[in-house]
């Protein structure tokens, strides 16, 4: 039987608590390397922000909300060598930067898309940042 099918069946039968307990017990038996890999996978699932959630986050941003939609950001990034997996990060952070730094950008006459892209790039590609920095920022 396929693992995904079994997991779905556990969920359908409302036995998630039992599954979590079994996973916890199994986790303790793993090597340190496998524990590390498992935690990283679990974090990626738990912290993932999908398109719907990202749009909701941006819609709540104050004072302006969404400046650029996902499609506009994708098109803008098309010549920037940004991995497609990070497009949603740029959507979130460019809009966050616009909402948080627009006044300063206007003051220094740099209120343009390139400015907000650079802010987002610095935030997202910060070399000493921990994993899932963007996702954790919006928790």
Q: What is the mean pLDDT of residues 92-115?
A: 97
- Calpha distance 58→91 (Å, rounded): 9
pLDDT in tens, 19-33: 999 999 999 999 999
89 and 136 Cβ atoms separated by less than 8 Å: no
Burial 41-61 (b: 16+ CB within 10 A, else e): eeeeeeeebeeeebbebbeeb
pLDDT in tens, 10-62: 999 999 999 999 999 999 999 999 999 999 999 999 999 999 999 999 999 99
CB atoms within 10 A of CB 121: 17
pLDDT interval class at 3 (50, 70, 90): confident
pLDDT, mean over the chain: 95
pLDDT in tens, 123-137: 999 999 999 999 999
């Amino acid at each position: 039987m396929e693992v995904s099918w079994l997991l779905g069946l556990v969920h359908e039968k409302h036995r998630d608590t039992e599954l979590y307990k079994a996973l916890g017990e199994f986790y303790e038996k793993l090597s340190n390397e496998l524990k590390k890999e498992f935690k990283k996978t679990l974090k990626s699932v738990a912290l993932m922000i999908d398109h719907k959630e990202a749009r909701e986050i941006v819609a709540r941003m104050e004072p302006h909300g969404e400046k650029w939609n996902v499609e506009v950001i994708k098109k803008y990034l098309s010549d920037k060598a940004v991995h497609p997996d990070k497009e949603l990060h740029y959507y979130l952070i460019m809009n966050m930067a616009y909402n948080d730094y627009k006044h300063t950008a206007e003051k220094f006459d740099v209120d343009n898309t390139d400015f907000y892209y650079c802010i987002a790039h610095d935030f997202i590609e910060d070399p000493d940042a921990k994993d899932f920095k963007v996702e954790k920022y919006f928790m």
